Amino acid sequence: MEKKEGEKIIIGIDPGTQLMGYGLILVKGKKVSVIQYGVIHLAKYSDHALKLKKIFERVSQLVEEYLPDEMALEAPFMGKNVQAALKLGRAQGVAMSAALVRQIPIAEYAPRKVKQSVTGSGNASKEQVARMLEKQLNFTFHENDTLDASDALGVALCHYFQGKLGGMNKAKSWGSFLKDNPNRIAKK
């Protein structure tokens, strides 16, 4: 895909080991539009290594085709099942690797942060996120679209709203934040 001066493409990823959502948005100034979205169907593969290979191949294909400027991922939700969390972390890492090979910067956002950015409430349902995305991006999801795809678009839009690589470049302490952001210090 060919971009013009001042345009930016953000790819959002909702990691999963059964379905992995992806969504790409185009930013032209303050106008944001949907380029593509969908899911990678992984449930049909019983071997976890094969699932990881399929994730890497499809995300690499999306990166090659659309040449995103930035990638945003939803951070894995940590439940009680350690094995499930480990597998989800591997899936996220493989998706990240597909972007890192092309030196695409990566940001990560907690599910609550994504919901809050898109809907104004960190407790919003997946359906509420999807409806708000339709309004904000001026398009309509198809009836058979999964919520994993809308979640991925939500991650990309959250990243756009953050205005920079908020996920990976956060300050480690207040001192480093103030040093990196002198213009944000109130003057007496």
**Active-site positions?**
14, 74, 148
With a CB cutoff of 8 Å and minimum separation 6, the contacts of 140 are: 134
Measured CA angle at 67 (ends 22, 114), to 5 deg: 35
Q: How many residues does the chain have?
A: 188
Contact criterion met (CB below 8 Å) for 59 and 46: no
Angle, CA 27 vertex, CA 133 and CA 153 arms, to 5°: 30
Q: What b/e string do you get for 136-164 counting C-beta neighbours within 10 Å, with b at 16 or more?
A: bbeeebeeeebbbbbbbbbbbbbbbbeee
